[in-house]
Amino acid sequence: MTIANHSKLSLGIATILMDVATEVARKHIVFTRASLKLVLALLNRFSDNSYFVENLEMIISSYMKSIQTQDASKVSMYSRLKDKPKLYGNNDPRLQKAIKRQSRKGGQTYLDKVVQTLSPKTTKKFDPNPEAVLSIDLGVDGRLDDSMIAKCFDHRLYPEETTQYINFKTNEKMIVNLLQCIIHSGHSHLGTFIKAQVLSTFVKIEQKHKFRNKGLHYLLGLYGKDVEMLLK
C-alpha cells in the first residue's frame, strides 16, 4: 500500500482513493482483499481529519440505503411469487414431450412411466401435476428472512428474479464484509457511527417489511452485546 503511505499524498487524493477502494471492495470480489487493505491504510493515516471521516460516513450511509432498497425489493418479489403456481416439469424436454403424447400413448399411465425414468435427483424437481405449488411457512414470530424468501426463487422458472435476488445477496455480503473490517480496525468514532446506522436500518426494515436482515444482525453482534437487548 505504497500509495497510501506516500509522503506527498494529499487529503483530496486520499478521499478519491477511499471512494474508489470502497467501491471496488463492494463490487469486485477478486480485488476485495487488496481494496480492503487500501481502505484500512488510508483510514489509519487520515482518521483524524474530519472531512475524510465525514466522506466515509456518507459512503456508509449510502450502503444502508442500498440494503433497505434491496430488502424492500426482495420482500416485494417474494409476495409476488409465493402465491404463483410453481409448475414442475415445464423445462424438461422429456416431460414436455410426454405431456403432448399423453392422449395418444396410454394417457396418464404413459406420463407416469416417463416421470419414473427420470433420475432420483431430478424426479424430486418435477411433478406431473400442474397444480403443484410451493408452500412456504413464516417463522414463529411472523417475520421473513432470506432462508424463507430464497425458497421462492428458481432459475428454471424465474430466471430474472432469481438473478436479481442473487445479486442483492452478493452486494449485501460485500457491504457487510467491508463494514466488518472497519469495525475491527479499532477506530472508535467510526465504530460508533456504523453501529448507529446498522441498528437504525435493521429496525426500519423489520418494522416496515417484517423482514429480518441477517447480515445486519451479524454486524450488531460484533459489538459484544446481546443483539436482542440492543433492539429493545
At 104 the pLDDT is 55
Please tell me the predicted confidence (pLDDT) of residue 229: 76
Same domain, 77 and 181: yes
Query: How many independent structural domains does the chain possess?
Result: 2
pLDDT at 55: 95
Phi (first) and psi of residue 211, to 5 degrees: -125, 130
The three cell numbers of residue 168 are 442483492
The answer on 115 and 16 residing in a single domain is no
CA quadruple 141, 82, 147, 202: dihedral, nearest 10: -60
Show which of 71, 104, 132 is a domain's final residue. 132
Q: How many C-beta atoms lie closer than 10 Å to residue 3's C-beta? A: 12
Average pLDDT by stretches of 10, the chain with 232 residues? 80 93 89 91 92 95 96 91 58 54 52 49 41 41 81 82 92 95 92 95 93 93 81 72
Do 95 and 186 fall within a single domain? no
Residue where a domain stops, chosen among 132, 164, 191? 132
159 and 64 belong to one structural domain: yes
> Range of 227's domain?
2-86+133-231
Q: Look at residue 1 in the predicted model and tell me its pLDDT.
A: 61
Same domain, residue pair 122 and 71? no
User: How high is the pLDDT of residue 6?
Assistant: 84
Can you tell me which residue has the cell 426482495? Answer: 74
Indicate whether 208 and 113 sit together in one domain.
no
pLDDT, residue 123, reads: 40
Helix/strand/coil percentages in the chain, nearest 5: 70, 0, 30
Which one of 106, 132, 158 terminates a domain? 132
Claim to verify: residue 62 and residue 120 sit in the same structural domain: no
